[in-house]
């Protein structure tokens, strides 16, 4: 099977940061819409008197909420322990309100977002070998984005 055919059936992407793997769903149109709703609900959680609107928030704040929503909605699995905590029944859940202040949320989100853009870009299959995306992409901070195969 050539890479372009494999991509037709690929439904996740994996990125690596600090030797930890993060596997995310590739969002379809429904998940893209839900992503915005989850981000809005997180803003409401943190500002109960607000309506979750983006108005008046800085671009960095909006990116942070989009990143938190991506983890909550799109993360399939990770080897990073900081992402999970136990709920009242002891079940492992993703609860961003319990993450350490230095969790690499934006770093991982940036890798995920860049890989998602690269994956969805036209011309990344075998039909145009000059435009194929690399299998692994070394980032300036030593992080690596890797396509799941």
pLDDT tens across 22-60, in order? 999 999 999 999 999 999 999 999 988 888 888 888 999
Structural tokens at position 40? 């809005």
Would you state the pLDDT for residue 23? 97
DSSP 83: G
* CA separation, residue 91 to residues 73, 86, 94, 95, 97 (Å): 17, 5, 10, 12, 16
Residues 80-106, mean pLDDT to the nearest whole number? 93
Place of tokens 């299998």: 135
The reported pTM is 0.75
- Alpha-carbon distance of 66 to 104, in angstroms, equals 14
Would you state the pLDDT for residue 119? 85
Place of tokens 């990344």: 124
Q: What is the dihedral of CA 115, 133, 127, 130, to 10 degrees?
A: 150
115 burial level (CB within 10 Å; 0-12, 13-18, 19+):
buried
């Amino acid at each position: 099977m050539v890479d372009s055919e494999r991509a037709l059936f690929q439904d996740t992407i994996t990125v690596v940061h600090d030797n930890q793997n993060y596997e995310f769903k590739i969002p379809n149109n429904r998940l893209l819409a839900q992503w915005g709703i989850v981000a809005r609900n997180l803003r409401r959680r943190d500002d109960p008197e607000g309506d979750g609107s983006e108005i008046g928030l800085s671009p960095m704040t909006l990116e942070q909420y989009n990143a938190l929503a991506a983890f909550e909605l799109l993360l399939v699995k990770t080897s990073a322990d900081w992402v999970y905590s136990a709920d009242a029944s002891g079940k492992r859940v993703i609860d961003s309100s319990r993450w350490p202040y230095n969790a690499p949320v934006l770093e991982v989100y940036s890798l995920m977002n860049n890989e998602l853009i690269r994956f969805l870009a036209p011309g990344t299959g075998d039909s145009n070998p000059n435009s194929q995306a690399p299998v692994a992409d070394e980032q300036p901070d030593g992080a690596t984005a890797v396509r799941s195969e």
